[in-house]
Structure 1
Amino acid sequence: MERTPIPNDRADDIDAGSELPFDIRTFLLGLLRRWPIVVISTILFAALGVAGALLFGSRTYKAETVLLYKPSSVAGVENDLYVPPPLPTQLHLVKLQSNLEEVRRRLKLPATLKALGAACDVVVERKTNLMIIRVEWDSPDMAAAIANTLRDVFLENQRRLRRTEVGKDLRDLEKRLEAIRQQLKKADAALKEFTTTHNVVDLEQETQWYLDELTSIELLLEQAQVEKKTIEKQMKNLDRIIEDLKRRVAKEQAQSAQLEALSDVNLRIQRLRELIQEDKQYRARLAELTQKELELERAKKLLAEGLISEVEFGKIKADYERQKALTIDTDQIKQWKAEMERLDRVVVPNQNGLTPSGEILQDMMRKAFDLQLQHVAVADKVEHLNEARARIKARLDALPALQREYVALNREVQSLENEKQQLENVLVKVRRVYESEASDFTIISEARPPVLPSQSNRKLIFLGIAALGPLMGLFIIVLLELADMTIKSGSELSIRLGVPVLGVLPRLPAGRQLIPGKVESELIEAFKIIARRIRYAVPKRGARLLIVSAQHGEGKTSLAANLAACLGRMDERVLLIDAQVRSGSQPPSLAQMLLAEESARNGNGRRPLTPIEAVFLQPVQNFAQFIRRTIPEKAWRTLPQITQRHPRLAATAARVKDWFHHRFEQMRSLHPPTGVAGQHHTLRELITNGHQSLKGLGEYLSFEADQPDDVIWPTVLAGVECVPRIKEPVIPDLLGSRRMQALLDEVSSRFSLILIDAPPVLPYVDAELLAPWCDAVIFVVRSRMCRVGTLRRALDRLRATGAPIIGALLNGVDPLYLEEM
Structure 2
Amino acid sequence: MELQDYLLVVRKRWRLIALVVLTTVMLAAAATLASTKVYESTSQFFVSTTGSEDSVSLLQGSTFTQQRVKSYTQLLTTPRILEPVAQEVGGSSDAIARQVTATTPPDTVLIQVAVRDADPSRAEAIGKAIATEFPSAVTELESPEGAKSSPVKVTVVQSPSVPTAPVSPNPVRNIALGVVLGLLLGLGAAVLREMLDRGVKTTDDVKRVTEAPILGAIAHDPETSKRPLIVEVDPRSPRAEAFRSLRTNLQFVDVANHPRTIVVTSSLAGEGKSTMTANLALTMAQAGARVCLIEADLRRPKVLEYMGLEGAVGLTDALIDRADVIDVIQPYGGTNLWVLGAGRIPPNPSELLGSSAMRALLQNLAGRFDYVIVDAPPTLPVTDAVVLAKLTDGAIVVAGSGLVDRDQLAQTLDTLASVGGRVLGIVLNRVPVRSLGTYGRYAYDTPEDDATRRDRARVAG
TM-score, normalization: structure 1? 0.44
CA distance in 2 between counterparts of 1:795 and 1:146 reads 79
Offset from partner CA, 1:662-694 (integer Å, 9 cap, x none): xxxxxxxxxxxxxxxxxxxxx14xxxxxxxx95
Q: What code does the residue aligned with 1:50 have? A: A
Offset from partner CA, 1:492-551 (integer Å, 9 cap, x none): 313312211122222235468551335426233332332233233366689211111111
**Which segment drifts farther, 749-758 or 726-735?**
726-735
CA distance in 2 between counterparts of 1:551 and 1:116 reads 67
Tell me how large the CA RMSD over aligned residues is.
Answer: 4.2
> What aligned pairs does 1:399-418 form with structure 2 within 5 A after superposition?
none
CA distance in 2 between counterparts of 1:117 and 1:495 reads 60
Please state whether the residue corresponding to 2:427 is helix, strand or coil.
strand
CA distance in 2 between counterparts of 1:563 and 1:31 reads 35
Over the matched positions of the two proteins, sequence identity in percent amounts to 25
Which residue is 1:494 aligned to?
207
Which residue is 1:526 aligned to?
242
Give yes or no for contact 1:575–1:722 (8 Å, CA) kept in 2: yes
Alpha-carbon distance change, 755 to 103 in structure 1, aligned in 2, over 3 angstroms: same
Please state whether the residue corresponding to 2:382 is helix, strand or coil.
coil
| Correspondent of 1:803 among 392, 416, 421 | 421
> What aligned pairs does 1:51-130 form with structure 2 within 5 A after superposition?
51-55=30-34, 59-64=38-43, 88=65, 95=75, 98-112=80-94, 115=97, 119-120=101-102
Q: How far off its partner does 1:159 sit?
A: 8.1
Which residue is 1:711 aligned to?
328
Q: How far off its partner does 1:755 sit?
A: 0.7
Please state whether the residue corresponding to 2:362 is helix, strand or coil.
helix
Offset from partner CA, 1:645-670 (integer Å, 9 cap, x none): xxxxxxxxxxxxxxxxxxxxxxxxxx
Q: What code does the residue aligned with 1:507 have? A: H
> What aligned pairs does 1:69-468 form with structure 2 within 5 A after superposition?
88=65, 95=75, 98-112=80-94, 115=97, 119-120=101-102, 134-138=113-117, 139-154=119-134, 156=136, 165-166=147-148, 446-454=159-167, 463-464=176-177, 467-468=180-181
Q: How far off its partner does 1:746 sit?
A: 1.7
Q: How far off its partner does 1:476 sit?
A: 2.4
Give yes or no for contact 2:366–2:372 (8 Å, CA) kept in 1: yes
Which residue is 1:722 aligned to?
339
Q: What code does the residue aligned with 1:152 have? A: T
TM-score, normalization: structure 2? 0.75
Q: How far off its partner does 1:577 sit?
A: 0.6
Q: How far off its partner does 1:592 sit?
A: 0.9
Q: What code does the residue aligned with 1:470 have? A: L
Which residue is 2:447 aligned to?
none
Please state whether the residue corresponding to 2:29 is helix, strand or coil.
helix
Which residue is 2:406 aligned to?
788
Alpha-carbon distance change, 538 to 721 in structure 1, aligned in 2, over 3 angstroms: farther
Give yes or no for contact 1:52–1:462 (8 Å, CA) kept in 2: no
Q: How far off its partner does 1:816 sit?
A: 4.1
Give yes or no for contact 1:63–1:140 (8 Å, CA) kept in 2: no
CA distance in 2 between counterparts of 1:454 and 1:541 reads 77
Alpha-carbon distance change, 57 to 713 in structure 1, aligned in 2, over 3 angstroms: same
| Correspondent of 1:517 among 219, 222, 232 | 232
1:47 aligns with 2:37: no
Alpha-carbon distance change, 24 to 815 in structure 1, aligned in 2, over 3 angstroms: farther
CA distance in 2 between counterparts of 1:44 and 1:780 reads 38
Please state whether the residue corresponding to 1:576 is helix, strand or coil.
strand
Give yes or no for contact 1:550–1:790 (8 Å, CA) kept in 2: yes
Please state whether the residue corresponding to 1:112 is helix, strand or coil.
helix
Which residue is 1:575 aligned to?
292
Please state whether the residue corresponding to 1:134 is helix, strand or coil.
strand
Give yes or no for contact 1:135–1:144 (8 Å, CA) kept in 2: no
Alpha-carbon distance change, 158 to 32 in structure 1, aligned in 2, over 3 angstroms: closer
1:38 aligns with 2:20: no
Q: What code does the residue aligned with 1:763 have? A: P
CA distance in 2 between counterparts of 1:802 and 1:568 reads 29
Q: How far off its partner does 1:785 sit?
A: 1.4
Q: How far off its partner does 1:720 sit?
A: 0.6
Offset from partner CA, 1:753-787 (integer Å, 9 cap, x none): 11111111111111122222211221111122111
CA distance in 2 between counterparts of 1:26 and 1:119 reads 49
CA distance in 1 between counterparts of 2:379 and 2:431 reads 21
Alpha-carbon distance change, 69 to 145 in structure 1, aligned in 2, over 3 angstroms: farther
Q: How far off its partner does 1:721 sit?
A: 0.5
Q: How far off its partner does 1:103 sit?
A: 3.0
Unmatched tracts of structure 1, length 5 or more: 1-19, 76-84, 168-439, 596-682, 685-692
Alpha-carbon distance change, 158 to 552 in structure 1, aligned in 2, over 3 angstroms: closer
CA distance in 2 between counterparts of 1:40 and 1:459 reads 20
Alpha-carbon distance change, 43 to 724 in structure 1, aligned in 2, over 3 angstroms: same
CA distance in 2 between counterparts of 1:543 and 1:122 reads 89
> What aligned pairs does 1:541-580 form with structure 2 within 5 A after superposition?
543-580=260-297
CA distance in 2 between counterparts of 1:535 and 1:745 reads 21
Q: How far off its partner does 1:30 sit?
A: 5.3
Which residue is 1:472 aligned to?
185
Alpha-carbon distance change, 535 to 517 in structure 1, aligned in 2, over 3 angstroms: same
Alpha-carbon distance change, 784 to 31 in structure 1, aligned in 2, over 3 angstroms: farther
Larger radius of gyration between Structure 1 and Structure 2: 1
CA distance in 2 between counterparts of 1:800 and 1:521 reads 40
Q: Which has the higher strand share?
A: 2
Give yes or no for contact 1:45–1:469 (8 Å, CA) kept in 2: yes
Which residue is 1:600 aligned to?
none
Q: What code does the residue aligned with 1:720 have? A: L
CA distance in 1 between counterparts of 2:381 and 2:41 reads 76
Q: What code does the residue aligned with 2:213 have? A: P
Total equivalences in the alignment: 416
Which residue is 2:358 aligned to?
740
Alpha-carbon distance change, 132 to 144 in structure 1, aligned in 2, over 3 angstroms: farther
Give yes or no for contact 1:779–1:805 (8 Å, CA) kept in 2: yes
Alpha-carbon distance change, 107 to 518 in structure 1, aligned in 2, over 3 angstroms: closer
Which residue is 1:761 aligned to?
379
Alpha-carbon distance change, 753 to 62 in structure 1, aligned in 2, over 3 angstroms: same
Q: How far off its partner does 1:27 sit?
A: 7.5
Give yes or no for contact 2:32–2:169 (8 Å, CA) kept in 1: no
Q: What code does the residue aligned with 2:160 have? A: A
Q: Which has the higher helix share?
A: 1
1:536 aligns with 2:154: no
Which residue is 2:453 aligned to?
none
Alpha-carbon distance change, 120 to 520 in structure 1, aligned in 2, over 3 angstroms: closer
CA distance in 1 between counterparts of 2:99 and 2:248 reads 87
Offset from partner CA, 1:445-478 (integer Å, 9 cap, x none): 7533222245656765565455433333322222
1:813 aligns with 2:431: yes
Q: How far off its partner does 1:715 sit?
A: 0.6
Please state whether the residue corresponding to 1:119 is helix, strand or coil.
strand
Please state whether the residue corresponding to 1:789 is helix, strand or coil.
helix
